[in-house]
Chains A and B, each alone.
Chain A
Amino acid sequence: MKNKVSRLNRKKKYKAIVMGVSAGGLAALTAILPNLSCQMCLPILIVQHLSPGSDDFLAKHFDKLCPFRVKEAEEKELIVGSTIYFAPANYHLMVEQDRTIALSIAERVQFSRPSIDVLFETAADAYADRLIGIILTGANSDGARGVMRIREFNGFVIAQSPKTAEANVMPLAAIKAGVDKVLALEKIPPFINQITGIP
């Protein structure tokens, strides 16, 4: 078992953050996204489980609340910093090696499309050890495999503490798979601000 503290390399320049969230997501994201520093210059890619017929209301909603651009991820779009991308309903969100967005309607993974595993695994391939993965509240275990993949590549993984999660199944599954840090919901934004180099 590796020393958990040493895995966080403060000198390392992280290139992207991926987040996975399911049941109870709106409240959790509301506690995090608007509280990130406007100097936070990384891209953040988010899978929030949604019903297949949903539109882009989440992106529109958070675009109004956040100090940076929030949008629905578009096919072949170049991923740029200071931008939050939401997976569209009924599509898997993937990251290509050249750091562009790819979408897919392939089979559901862990009963989900978009699936957190799909985002995390492809992002790990693209960003290797420069990736931060965050698992928030949720009632299934999507994301656990993705967490393992990020850590295989020496990326850094945070789970919301199950006590502060509206649904604890997803963070518990991630913790079982192995994470680097477990944080109470309100501690997550300052921690992100800190490890992404904001004073």
Chain B
Amino acid sequence: MSHNIQNENLEIRLLLEAIHQKYGYNFKDYANAHTKRRLRHRLALSNMESYTQMIHRVIYDEDFFNTLLMDLSINVTEMFRDPWFYKKVREDIMPFLKTYSFIKVWHAGCSAGQEVYSISILLEEEGMKHRSQIYATDFNEFIIEKARNGIYPIDVMKSYTVNYQQSGGKKDFSDYYTADYDNVIFRQSLKEKVLFSSHNLVTDGVFGEMNLIFCRNVLIYFNRQLQNRVLKLFYDSLCPGGYLCLGSKESLKFTDMADKFESIAGREKIYRKKREP
């Protein structure tokens, strides 16, 4: 069977090439196992028999491309995901950021916005909201629209509330949203200082002089080469002494940027850009 795997891998490379050339989205440097699982799942759901058929379909059918785009972006997240991480940001990073008159925060790969609202709540509770600007970006326009709406199903609120409390939240979590039958909508005021926009880490450039960058559970989907490119982008986007927060299983270890940052919190994966010597 192993020759089939080689053929299948070739077909997948051609499919990703077609997507890149036709629509400008480059998934060629994504981690293969991930991409392949997502595409295989789509193949099983569709009536197609091979990735070669899928190439034809994606070239001629933009709706199908949009389906693939959703398949290839991971949009699993939650509010205050890893509460101990948010607790660390609140307790150890915020006191330092409060010494600035104004801070800029970039949430790269913000998905449907759960963690954007989390950081907005945190900044508000720490009295920093009116001295901050949050840039929330994702490559997927549909997802940014969801983030902008700030509407989430009511059945996840229980776990979000537990996360919020464990993260050191100071209020009643329900103060931040209004519940409908099946959904909740987060308070408009949490969006006041948030600018949602499209940005593709694979192809787009540097983003302002940031004090704090969140990019959690995005780099794990990239191959090493692309990870290095994106980490360089973060380095160039941070002011000296700025903070970079990664996902709990991501690390700068073994990357080109390992010696450009110091580790502030090992388990929480919080790094700080070193000042130029």
Contacts and interface: CB of A to CB of B under 8 A. Distances in A.
A144 B34 CA distance: 20
Interface stretch (A61-69, A89-97, A158-166, A191-199): A89-97
Contacts of A95: 33
B249 interface: yes
B254 interface: yes
A122 to B, nearest CB: 5
A88 B249 CA distance: 8
B263 interface: no
Nearest to B84: A53
B249 A94 contact: no
B45 interface: no
Interface in A92-127: 94-97, 102-107, 118, 121-122, 125-126
Given A74-B249, A104-B220, A105-B217, A122 B74 contact: no
Size category, B interface: 20 to 34
B78 to A, nearest CB: 10
Q: Tell which of B31, B33, B34, B36 has the most Cβ of chain A within 10 Å.
A: B33
B37 A103 contact: no
B247 to A, nearest CB: 8
Contacts of A74: 249, 251
Top 5 closest pairs, chain A to chain B, by CB:
A94-B33, A128-B2, A122-B33, A102-B33, A102-B31
Given A75-B220, A88-B249, A129-B2, 9 more contacts: A94-B34, A94-B37, A97-B33, A102-B33, A104-B74, A107-B76, A121-B37, A125-B5, A153-B2
